[in-house]
Structure 1
Amino acid sequence: MRALAVPPGSSALSILPALEKVLMDRGAALAPVPSTDAGHSILHSLRVGEDIDDDVALVVTTSGTTGPPKGALLTAAALTASAHATHDLLGGPGRWLLALAPHHVAGMQVLVRSVLAGTDPVELDISSGFDITQLPGVVAKLGSGRRYTSLVATQLAKALTDPAAAAALAELDAVLLGGGPAPQPILDSAAAAGISVVRTYGMSETAGGCVYDGVPLDGVRLRLAEGNRIVIGGTTLAKGYRNPVDPDPFAEPGWFYTNDVGIINEPGMLTVLGRADEAISTGGLTVLPQPVEAALSTHPAVRDCAVFGVADDRLGQRVVTAVVLTDGSAEPSLASLRAHVARTLDVTAAPRELHIVDTLPMRGIGKVDRQALARRFGY
């Protein structure tokens, strides 16, 4: 295995020849990392330069918050199955706009789909952040035919603040939205702007998004284990980890045990409720942050929010929220937010503590760092 240094900015597409080679089983496995990290500990942790199974194409880091990078072992077959199934669901191959870092699986899959479709991707330079003023120009470069992109919710929310950027996204046949659940107001605003959003669920271990708008891609299998834990199998699954963990979520052959909790309805559609390892145990009851965030996000003063637990002598943990205010909004009271949440959820889930923040800390690709918030406000 060798390192694949991903350059910042508009040079990221320079990795396409190496990616095409490994997808065609003509090269050694690659570990994509930002070029700034090429000599750092991540490469040592993934044992770059040492032997690896012949069928592994990419070793992609995950977005976990603790420990050394596990490194999902993705074969060319898994990456190809994901790309073809995505194009089949979306209506056929097309040209892709790269607006995510390709050392993460979501950005990498934009390039994989482009290579396998024989199309040239267009890149939006995100080395200095997501510049929405560039969107009309880069979308125009995609030309005619089917056109797609993949974003996270914070990018979409930013684009919606600019009519020209929103109009550019509305020209695309689909905007895949991943990295975690999107607040309903953002989805509503995107729909009103004519943007064709497809909500995706997946991870490095599944070669990226494997469930689109609740529907598993062709070849993907879903089931629920104890506690409604989501278990994923099928053609897009990684072989395991470069650095296995205990307990091993790949221990059952052909299946991956996620840390997510969900519901599968009668037609087989998946609703993701939240992460089991982020659950808050309060007063003997379990509260998942994501449904509370969804309820809070419908309050007119809330632009963005995160819910997390901190230690409490009486309850074990108490539910806390950090809120980014909508521009021009007055600070809501804790009582008003609790009442707002209680309209749709049990009052137990309503936050008992409120913090107004300018921004939310992020990790990985578009995911809120709840641990950082818990450390900051856990006193």
Structure 2
Amino acid sequence: MDILPIHTPPDFNPLDLLKPLADVLAGEGPVVAPYATNEPPANLLTTLSDTSGNGSGPHTGQGPEAMAPDTAVVVSTSGSTGQPKQTMLTIDSLAASSMATAMKLKGEGQWLCTLPVHHIAGLQVLIRSLYAGTKPIVMDPASGFDTEAFTSAAQEMTDHHRYVSLVPTQLHRLLNSPDPNTMSVLRRFNAILLGGGPSNPDLLGTAASEGLKIFTTYGMSETCGGCVYNGKPLPGVQIKLDDGRIHLGGEVVASGYLNQPELNTQHFVDDGETRWYVTDDLGEFDDNGALRVTGRIDDVVISGGLKISAASVRRAIESVEGVHSAFVTGLESVEWGHVLAAAVVGAPESRQTLADAVRRDVAAEAVPKVVKFVPELPMLATGKPDRQQLIRLLEQAFRDGSAG
């Protein structure tokens, strides 16, 4: 099976991906494998006969058994919790995802690309545009994301139906833009998909008060991106909980990971009727049947023999007035086993205010022993917090006692 590795550095023009994507979706071109690193990811390199990583042309894979039949795209996961994995998405799964999205949004239309196209959220903007037969608008690749570039790009849109995918950090910046044209173009979107991580309730409240049509999304590379909108599954998508662990099922589920059979066995299950992806997330259904993600399997921190959910501590901290966002994790401690540590963006009334909120909403034992105020959370290109960098930052603060 031929593979076309495509290097997508920061100045890459996303429109250059349209032709190879159109070819493979029509069954007439090589598998598209975008990547942002200096050379293709290791799992992809082992499948290429030419491992030079120059991305200059298609390559014939060694060991075709590693590549699932009908694969159209190999896309890397965000790597927010460790080593990125290369996910195989088929023509059928991508088509099912695009159709379900159009049904949920009540129509196809023109998309604005604001996210990296080597990850699923940005790549899906191009794929949905191809299925809709519309020309996507992209921000100037050289400018990165800023409110001026976004506003300028949005003003170029001409279709009656307009859509965009954002991450919370981007929406926060846009809502605080001094340019009145920014809010004007935001209101013009028929839907703003907001994903990549949890959204602060204050952020969603501000967006709603401005009349913006926000759809919070939940999904991942393994489900062709967001497949749960505002807590409800897209048409054709199923959700089930197994001891609180979220399973997502349907045609949108990937074929698996490239060259990682053990992980495939752990995360992909075919019960004869439905193909399921077993996530690492925990969730629950509210009274209206909407899914709420409560944390991760590895989110539970055992401190002093007590089990504490880092996600519940984060939500308590983010409920404090003046706090924009937070990251909470556990750090190894000789005395406690682990201690709770938090990186906090914002200016609460005091550290005591944070402690009081955690004590009230979670438990006294859940109050973080390490609190580090930062101007912003370091993010991956996908908009997800860079967990590895944040953990290193908090570990250093814990070691030298500089938290504060």
TM-score exceeds 0.5: yes
1:300 partnered with 2:332? no
CA distance in 2 between counterparts of 1:179 and 1:21 reads 28
Residues 175 and 183 of structure 2 are in contact (CA less than 8 Å); yes or no, is this contact kept in structure 1? yes
CA distance in 1 between counterparts of 2:60 and 2:283 reads 39
CA distance in 1 between counterparts of 2:258 and 2:331 reads 33
CA distance in 1 between counterparts of 2:344 and 2:287 reads 36
Residues 165 and 195 of structure 2 are in contact (CA less than 8 Å); yes or no, is this contact kept in structure 1? yes
CA distance in 1 between counterparts of 2:354 and 2:131 reads 48
Deviations, residues 238-278 of structure 1 (Å, cap 9, x unaligned) = 01110325353335222111100001346542111111123
SS of equivalent residue, structure 1 residue 77:
helix
CA distance in 2 between counterparts of 1:286 and 1:245 reads 32
Q: How does 1:220-299 map to 2 (within 5 A)?
A: 220-226=237-243, 228-244=244-260, 246-247=262-263, 248-253=265-270, 254-265=275-286, 268-299=289-320
Q: How many residues align?
A: 373
CA distance in 2 between counterparts of 1:146 and 1:301 reads 36
Aligned with 2:130 (options 97, 115, 122): 115
CA distance in 2 between counterparts of 1:68 and 1:249 reads 16
Structure 2: any 5+ residue segments left out of the alignment?
49-58, 400-404
Could you tell me which residue of structure 2 aligns to residue 164 of structure 1? 181
Deviation, 1:41, is 5.0
CA distance in 2 between counterparts of 1:45 and 1:158 reads 40
Deviation, 1:300, is 2.4
SS of equivalent residue, structure 1 residue 157:
helix
Could you tell me which residue of structure 1 aligns to residue 45 of structure 2? 44
SS of equivalent residue, structure 1 residue 32:
strand
Letter in 2 for 1:4: I
Residues 162 and 189 of structure 2 are in contact (CA less than 8 Å); yes or no, is this contact kept in structure 1? yes
Could you tell me which residue of structure 1 aligns to residue 78 of structure 2? 63
Structure 1 residues 207 and 46, CA gap change in structure 2 (3 angstroms): farther
CA distance in 2 between counterparts of 1:24 and 1:160 reads 39
CA distance in 1 between counterparts of 2:316 and 2:47 reads 40
Could you tell me which residue of structure 2 aligns to residue 105 of structure 1? 120
Could you tell me which residue of structure 2 aligns to residue 155 of structure 1? 170
Deviation, 1:293, is 2.1
Residues 5 and 32 of structure 2 are in contact (CA less than 8 Å); yes or no, is this contact kept in structure 1? yes
Deviation, 1:81, is 0.5
SS of equivalent residue, structure 2 residue 246:
strand
Could you tell me which residue of structure 2 aligns to residue 316 of structure 1? 337
CA distance in 1 between counterparts of 2:41 and 2:225 reads 25
1:135 partnered with 2:137? no
SS of equivalent residue, structure 1 residue 361:
coil
Moved more, 349-358 or 142-151: 349-358
Structure 1 residues 345 and 67, CA gap change in structure 2 (3 angstroms): closer
Structure 1 residues 78 and 374, CA gap change in structure 2 (3 angstroms): same
Q: How does 1:22-33 map to 2 (within 5 A)?
A: 22-33=24-35
Structure 1 residues 46 and 377, CA gap change in structure 2 (3 angstroms): farther
Letter in 2 for 1:310: L
Aligned with 1:89 (options 104, 125, 144): 104
Could you tell me which residue of structure 1 aligns to residue 213 of structure 2? 196
SS of equivalent residue, structure 1 residue 324:
strand
Structure 1 residues 7 and 360, CA gap change in structure 2 (3 angstroms): closer
Residues 56 and 76 of structure 1 are in contact (CA less than 8 Å); yes or no, is this contact kept in structure 2? yes
Residues 43 and 259 of structure 2 are in contact (CA less than 8 Å); yes or no, is this contact kept in structure 1? no
Could you tell me which residue of structure 2 aligns to residue 19 of structure 1? 21
CA distance in 1 between counterparts of 2:353 and 2:45 reads 50
Deviations, residues 113-141 of structure 1 (Å, cap 9, x unaligned) = 10000011000125443110123322221
Moved more, 334-343 or 38-47: 38-47
Moved more, 206-215 or 217-226: 217-226
Could you tell me which residue of structure 2 aligns to residue 209 of structure 1? 226
Moved more, 291-300 or 270-279: 291-300
TM-score by length of 1: 0.91
CA distance in 2 between counterparts of 1:293 and 1:39 reads 35
Between the aligned residues of both structures, percent identity stands at 38
CA RMSD of aligned residues (A): 2.2
CA distance in 2 between counterparts of 1:23 and 1:275 reads 34
CA distance in 2 between counterparts of 1:295 and 1:45 reads 45
Deviation, 1:190, is 1.1
CA distance in 1 between counterparts of 2:327 and 2:41 reads 31
SS of equivalent residue, structure 2 residue 279:
strand
Structure 1 residues 284 and 174, CA gap change in structure 2 (3 angstroms): same
SS of equivalent residue, structure 1 residue 321:
strand
Q: How does 1:327-346 map to 2 (within 5 A)?
A: 329=347, 332-346=349-363
